[in-house]
A and B are shown apart, each in its own frame.
Chain A
Amino acid sequence: MDELMQILQKAKPDVDFELEDALIDDGILASFDIITIVNAINDTFDVEVTVAQLKPENFNSAEAMWEMIQELQD
């Protein structure tokens, strides 16, 4: 989770990822942020986030992203 937090902070330093739970729904993350984040997740956790995962419910919060990563790793 720490590694994920680092990725998110680096991609978007002005957002409090501990608190936000509507990153997509509220338009806090833009398309280029998602590209940066997904590429970093793929590299760091050795997973492949595919089209099917690119849904708001998987990216609205750091927590949700972490759950998605763990599912992908299984």
Chain B
Amino acid sequence: MNKFNVLSLLEESASKYPERIVFKDKDEEISYSNLKTVASRTGLWIRERAGLCDGEKNKPVAVFVDRNIKSLLLFMSVVYSGNFYVPIDATLPKQRIDLIIETLNPVLMLSATKRKLTVENVIPFSETPAGSKNYDEQESLLEEEVLALKKVRRTGIDTDPLYAIFTSGTTGVPKGVLVAHRSVLDLVNRFTEVFPFPEYPIFGNQAPFDFDVSVKDIYNALFMGGTVVVIPKAYFVMPSSLLPYLKENKVNTLVWAVSALRIVQNFKLFEACIPDDLKLIMFSGEVMPIKCLKYLKEYLPQVTYVNLYGPTEITCNCNYYIVDREFEDTQNLPLGEAFENSEVFLQDTETLKRITEPEKLGEICVKGTCLALGYYNNPEQTAKAFVQDPDVSAYQDLIYKTGDLGKYDEEGNLYYVSRKDFQIKHMGHRIELSEIEVVVNALDEVHMACCTYKESEELISLYYSSQSECDALVRSAIKEKLPAFMMPGKIQWMEALPLNEHAKIDRRKLAAL
């Protein structure tokens, strides 16, 4: 069957395995058939609450998420309503949440978290039909509900947006990457073709729901009739319960950030518990240290390990490498090959020609159904990153420029080398250093500000100049406006920042400090 809405994934699995658990967290769980019923009913309620007329669709619905299945239930409800969901982390500073809401102008805001919110007019989960009674006590859909749902679905096409995920933006305004149904359908088809998933996959979900890594857990599970077990965030902070929880839930598949797997290695967690149901471990987000991979393989030799590469703008990943040999500690894992139906190539940053020869540095560019629809309500940034393929002039053909620099080796394997700009990956988070600079520069007291990143120490350093030292002021400004992971580890006052011959801040000199 030709699917064009992700809900078909849920519905097919619901007819095959109605009683199977689809989502589970520490407190509760829901079966496929109950999810279908509850999300359908809540979807219709969303349309009503948002005051949408017949035929209206593709409106943003904000969902304040937490580490629970209520968040996932609300996502599915939004999809049933014919709109797209926008996960928002309730612990972000108020100013950042306000910026996101301003960009979105959502038709409705829902909350799956018990946290106190800084925004008004958010409807708590308990006031939605999904929260009105236990999932298994909900009566089946009425005939009129089924008809109304059919009507909504009939208007949907596969280029309709499914979700928007906000990420750090260089200008100080976060960018909402908008992804269509067809990109996620493409992703699950490619994943199940190339990776040896267990017959009944049980995903141990680590990724927060406002990160696109979690998209892979959710939709691959829906496609294969699998289960997503949401792991409490605290287990990654105090990890003594982490592996026992995986074992207890018979988790066999992990799609984790490299930084999360490093927690397992750093704290030598296998000494206390080996979750031996694991069959498949995929990782992404930053370069996997070989030392960490070796540690995993030593205790879990039966597992297939996959290195995944790609930014949010191309729907999770465009390249994969199934680890098929041993590596030295000093080597890097290749990015491997492109998924079918995605074209990945290196572009010379000067001539904009495609690079095919080995060892030559170029920007990694991607093309295909995986491309996001752009940044929501931000045509300028969209036009900068999603551009016409310079080799094609007779028709419109977009590529996404990742800003990552890569190269091929003699065998034609693609490797990540560095960034073209000042975007960094810090503890699994994607950060534009200039976004921190914008916040600090906005202070009247500050003359100049510049951030550097030392990868070996995982340290963000901020250098600023002003009349006199005002670290506390700088720190509170950052805390007020930016997520906690963007707080520099080192803040250094200077009378004046070093300048280079072009009278620009000498980043190289600062980086060497």
Residues of A within 8 A of B (CB): 10-11, 13-14, 24, 27, 29-32, 34-35, 38-39, 50-56, 59
Pairwise interchain contact B272-A30, C-beta atoms closer than 8 A: no
How many angstroms between the C-alpha atoms of A51 and B271 in the bound complex? 8
Pairwise interchain contact B485-A54, C-beta atoms closer than 8 A: no
Known: A13-B491, A14-B479. A29 touches B272 (CB 8 A): no
- Minimum CB–CB distance from B402 to chain A (whole Å) comes to 25
Q: Which residues of B contact A34 (CB under 8 A)?
A: 237-238
* Among A27, A35, A38, A54, contact of B240 (Cβ-Cβ < 8 Å): A54
Closest to A29 in B: B237
How many angstroms between the C-alpha atoms of A55 and B233 in the bound complex? 14
* Interface locus among B57-65, B104-112, B259-267, B277-285: B259-267
Q: Which residues of B contact A14 (CB under 8 A)?
A: 475-476, 479, 487
Pairwise interchain contact A51-B269, C-beta atoms closer than 8 A: yes
- Minimum CB–CB distance from B284 to chain A (whole Å) comes to 17
11 cross-chain CB contacts under 8 A: A14-B479, A27-B234, A30-B484, A30-B485, A31-B236, A31-B239, A32-B458, A38-B266, A38-B267, A52-B240, A54-B239
Pairwise interchain contact B236-A55, C-beta atoms closer than 8 A: no
Chain B interface size, as a band, is 20 to 34
Closest to A49 in B: B267
- Minimum CB–CB distance from B263 to chain A (whole Å) comes to 6
Pairwise interchain contact A51-B239, C-beta atoms closer than 8 A: yes
Closest to A57 in B: B238
- Minimum CB–CB distance from A51 to chain B (whole Å) comes to 4
Q: Which residues of A contact B91 (CB under 8 A)?
A: 27
Q: Which residues of B contact A24 (CB under 8 A)?
A: 234, 237-238
Closest to B240 in A: A54
Q: Which residues of B contact A11 (CB under 8 A)?
A: 489
Across chains A and B, the number of contacting residue pairs, with CB separation under 8 Å, is 63
Closest to B273 in A: A51
Interface string of B161-205 (1 = CB under 8 A from A): 000000000000000000000000000000000000000000000
Q: Which residues of B contact A50 (CB under 8 A)?
A: 267-268, 271-272
* Among A32, A35, A56, contact of B234 (Cβ-Cβ < 8 Å): A56
How many angstroms between the C-alpha atoms of A13 and B268 in the bound complex? 27
How many angstroms between the C-alpha atoms of A54 and B242 in the bound complex? 11
Q: Which residues of A contact B262 (CB under 8 A)?
A: 35
Q: Which residues of B contact A55 (CB under 8 A)?
A: 238, 240
Q: Binding site of A, secondary structure by majority: helix, strand, loop or mixed? A: helix
Q: In the complex, which residues 484-500 of chain B have their Cβ closer than 8 Å to any Cβ of chain A? A: 484-485, 487, 489, 491
Q: Chain B CB within 10 Å — which of A27, A31, A38, A54 has the most?
A: A31
Pairwise interchain contact A56-B484, C-beta atoms closer than 8 A: no
Closest to B488 in A: A13
- Minimum CB–CB distance from A52 to chain B (whole Å) comes to 7
Q: In the complex, which residues 265-316 of chain B have their Cβ closer than 8 Å to any Cβ of chain A? A: 266-269, 271-272
- Minimum CB–CB distance from A23 to chain B (whole Å) comes to 9
Q: In the complex, which residues 368-396 of chain B have their Cβ closer than 8 Å to any Cβ of chain A? A: none
Indicate if B427 sits at the interface (CB-CB under 8 A).
Answer: yes
Closest to A10 in B: B489
Pairwise interchain contact B263-A35, C-beta atoms closer than 8 A: yes
Closest to B491 in A: A13
Q: Which residues of A contact B476 (CB under 8 A)?
A: 14
Pairwise interchain contact B475-A31, C-beta atoms closer than 8 A: no
**A-B CB proximity, top 4 nearest:** A32-B427, A51-B272, A31-B236, A54-B240
- Minimum CB–CB distance from A22 to chain B (whole Å) comes to 12
Q: Chain B CB within 10 Å — which of A14, A24, A32 has the most?
A: A32
Closest to A23 in B: B237
How many angstroms between the C-alpha atoms of A51 and B268 in the bound complex? 7
Pairwise interchain contact B271-A32, C-beta atoms closer than 8 A: no
Q: Which residues of A contact B484 (CB under 8 A)?
A: 30
Interface string of B136-163 (1 = CB under 8 A from A): 0000000000000000000000000000
- Minimum CB–CB distance from B208 to chain A (whole Å) comes to 11
* Among A30, A39, A52, contact of B237 (Cβ-Cβ < 8 Å): A30
Q: Which residues of A contact B238 (CB under 8 A)?
A: 24, 34, 54-56, 59
Q: Which residues of A contact B259 (CB under 8 A)?
A: 31-32
Q: Which residues of B contact A59 (CB under 8 A)?
A: 238
Q: Which residues of A contact B479 (CB under 8 A)?
A: 14
How many angstroms between the C-alpha atoms of A64 and B479 in the bound complex? 26
